[in-house]
């Protein structure tokens, strides 16, 4: 009887035992923090697709949760340290928001050095990071580095020649862009992008230098009616970006999940970033043109004049970097060679 009861109890318990699910593979949620609103082109056309790709290729084991518009607190210049200190897992930001902290990446931000296409600048900056200035970002795990396309001058009044910049209070993104504007006679003011609308409303600035792609997210085309493009390559200015991760968080992931992130890092990720400018920028420009705003393209003769006027900015940077034991002359030469190489056939 006892034997039969034991068998019966075993049979009744079997379905319950079979119903216990197998332990699921480890799942990870990574919080990505940045400063632009969710409607911005970078959020919609780079950060979201990148996060989705990582999620798909990890078979759902990695979830990248994006927090735009500084939703997790702090100010844009604090983003890099948020990743370094583990306040968040990932950040997207501009090294230019902390002037002088990442000196070597400034090579792409010098006047008339960068290419007019983000796809070219992205390849160049990522390669230079890997070969030249990885150590400057050693306190985080860098997913990728890149730079945007040609920047545009957006102002309350027309800018058709150098003299039109005299005294014009213009927001700039990096110290090299600021020095270039100062050399041209403007009054540069450094501000993170989110502060631009309020600064314009208060009359603290007369305009801003930003690429086309960011214009709608801060409604710049509704406030400023005059836009000056500096066509051709090299272009007047560009700004660099990084997508960085907390180092301990990356190193603490299982090898298989690190491999997924690695497969979506470096040149792969930089190439994913570029269309947010190269594809979306012309769409924004066409929208602004349809609106009836005045768009002016700087003539080649005037463009050459601006290049001559801002040459001392490059010379001063090379000299200052030498004082920090950075071989800036060689770095600049390599950057220009890579831009020429990757820019062949790119209009």
pLDDT of 74 above 60: yes
Q: Comparing 1-5, 55-59, 109-113, 250-254, which segment has the lowest mean pLDDT?
A: 1-5
Sheet of 187-190, strands arranged across: 187-190, 169-172, 207-210, 152-155, 226-229, 294-297
**Position 103 confidence tier, pLDDT thresholds 50, 70, 90:** very high
Q: So what's the pLDDT on residue 62?
A: 98
Rounded to whole angstroms, how far apart are CA atoms 220 and 215? 5
Average pLDDT value for the chain: 93
Phi and psi angles of residue 232, each rounded to the nearest 5 degrees, phi first: 85, 175
Reported as a pLDDT band with limits 50, 70 and 90, residue 214 is: very high
pLDDT in tens, 277-303: 999 999 999 999 999 999 999 999 999
In tens, the pLDDT along 236-292 reads 999 999 999 999 999 999 999 999 999 999 999 999 999 999 999 999 999 999 999
pLDDT at 345: 87
Q: How many residues does the chain have?
A: 347
Q: Answer with the residue of higher pLDDT: 32 or 19.
A: 32
Instruction: For strands 240-245 and 90-93, give the pairing.
Output: antiparallel
Q: Which domains, ranges and CATH numbers included, belong to the chain?
A: 28-149+238-278 (3.40.190.170), 152-237+281-342 (3.40.190.170)
pLDDT of amino acid 231: 87
Mean pLDDT computed over 166-185: 97
Are 229 and 281 contacting, i.e. CB atoms less than 8 angstroms apart?
no
CB 328 within 8 A of CB 334: no
User: Is the pTM for the entire model greater than 0.85?
Assistant: yes
Share of the chain above pLDDT 70, in %: 93
pLDDT of 3: 44
8: pLDDT strictly greater than 80: no
- % the chain with pLDDT above 90: 91
């Amino acid at each position: 009887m006892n034997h039969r009861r034991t068998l019966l109890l075993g049979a009744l318990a079997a379905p319950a035992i079979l119903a216990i699910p197998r332990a699921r593979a480890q799942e990870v949620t990574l919080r990505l923090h940045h400063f632009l609103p969710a409607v911005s082109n970078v959020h919609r056309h780079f950060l979201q697709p990148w996060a989705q790709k990582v999620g798909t290729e990890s078979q759902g084991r990695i979830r990248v949760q994006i927090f735009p518009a500084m939703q997790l607190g702090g100010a844009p210049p604090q983003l890099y340290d948020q990743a370094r200190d583990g306040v968040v897992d990932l950040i997207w930001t501009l090294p230019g928001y902390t002037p002088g902290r990442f000196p070597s990446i400034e090579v792409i931000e010098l006047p008339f050095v960068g290419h007019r296409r983000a796809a070219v600048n992205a390849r160049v900056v990522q390669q230079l990071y890997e070969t030249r200035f990885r150590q400057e970002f050693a306190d985080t795990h860098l997913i990728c580095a890149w730079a945007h396309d040609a920047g545009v001058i957006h102002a309350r009044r027309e800018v058709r020649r150098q003299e039109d910049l005299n005294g014009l209070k213009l927001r700039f993104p990096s110290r090299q862009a600021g020095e270039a504007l100062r050399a041209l006679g403007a009054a540069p003011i450094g501000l993170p992008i989110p502060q631009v609308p309020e600064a314009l409303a208060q009359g603290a600035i007369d305009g801003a230098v930003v690429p086309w792609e960011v214009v709608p997210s801060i409604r710049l085309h509704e406030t400023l009616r005059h836009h000056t493009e500096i066509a051709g390559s090299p272009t007047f200015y560009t700004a660099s970006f990084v997508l960085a991760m907390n180092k301990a968080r990356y190193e603490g992931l299982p090898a298989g999940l690190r491999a997924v992130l690695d497969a979506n890092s470096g040149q792969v990720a930089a190439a994913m970033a570029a269309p947010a400018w190269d594809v979306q920028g012309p769409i924004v420009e066409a929208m602004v043109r349809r609106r009836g705003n005045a768009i002016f393209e700087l003539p080649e003769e005037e463009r050459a004049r601006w290049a001559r006027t801002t040459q001392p900015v490059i010379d001063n940077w090379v000299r200052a970097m030498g004082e920090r034991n950075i071989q800036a002359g060689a770095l600049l030469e390599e950057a220009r060679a890579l831009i020429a190489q990757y820019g062949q056939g790119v209009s």
